[in-house]
Amino acid sequence: MGLVPEQLLVGFDPSTAQARVAMARSRIPMRVVWVIFAALISGVLYYLRKEMFTPLFAGLLFGLSIGISLLMLLQSIFAWIGAKKYLAKLPQGIAAAVDRQGVWVRGTGMAWADVTALRVTRGNFGRAPTFQVTRIDGQVASLQLDDVDVMAGTIDAAVRAYSAGAHYVDTTSLGH
């Protein structure tokens, strides 16, 4: 019979955050192209049909077409900057651990007797699901699952095994 590991170590994994940075960065050149395209089309329309345009209509045409394109460009730039900041703040090393004594999440260790709930909550507005551990005193330690190298099911299996079936990870909010 093989050896049973003494604990589950959950490491931080920057690959999802790196992919977000790359995706946000890749959108910027296309947004620049759209700004130029909107300016060219608006300019050509104005030049060809000058007599049709009042100053107000010409201003609206340029303002809306170029303005919307510029807003989309700015949104892409801010998304890229935000993704880079998030990646820079992502720690390295061990994010969580589960063993026979209890669970440890982001520096907060809890014995099994102190744990009241373990759950995964659905992420909102593009955020990843979050693994949360609640103590008897109400303190919550949490961890975004996009930031780690295991899935919720792996953590659940380890919790069930190492707590001798006394605890489990509630994943009902994920809809599975």
Span 123-157, pLDDT tens digits: 777 678 999 999 999 999 999 998 998 998 999 99
- In-domain check, residue 132: yes
- In-domain check, residue 157: yes
Residues 104 and 128 in one domain: yes
Domain-ending residue, one of 43, 59, 89: 89
Residues 36 and 61 in one domain: yes
Is residue 129 within 8 Å of 152, Cβ to Cβ? Answer: yes
HSE, side-chain direction, 13 A CA sphere, residue 148: 24
Residues 100 and 64 in one domain: no
Residues 111 and 166 in one domain: yes
The predicted structure's pLDDT at residue 1: 45
CA distance 59 to 15: 45
Residues 64 and 104 in one domain: no
Domain-ending residue, one of 89, 122, 140: 89
Surface-to-core class of residue 25, CB atoms within 10 Å of its CB (0-12 exposed, 13-18 middle, 19+ buried): middle
The predicted structure's pLDDT at residue 58: 74
- Residues in the chain with pLDDT values less than 70: 1-5, 126, 176
The predicted structure's pLDDT at residue 47: 79
CA distance 21 to 89: 13
The predicted structure's pLDDT at residue 25: 96
The predicted structure's pLDDT at residue 174: 78
- In-domain check, residue 52: yes
Number of domains present in the structure of the chain: 2
The predicted structure's pLDDT at residue 176: 58
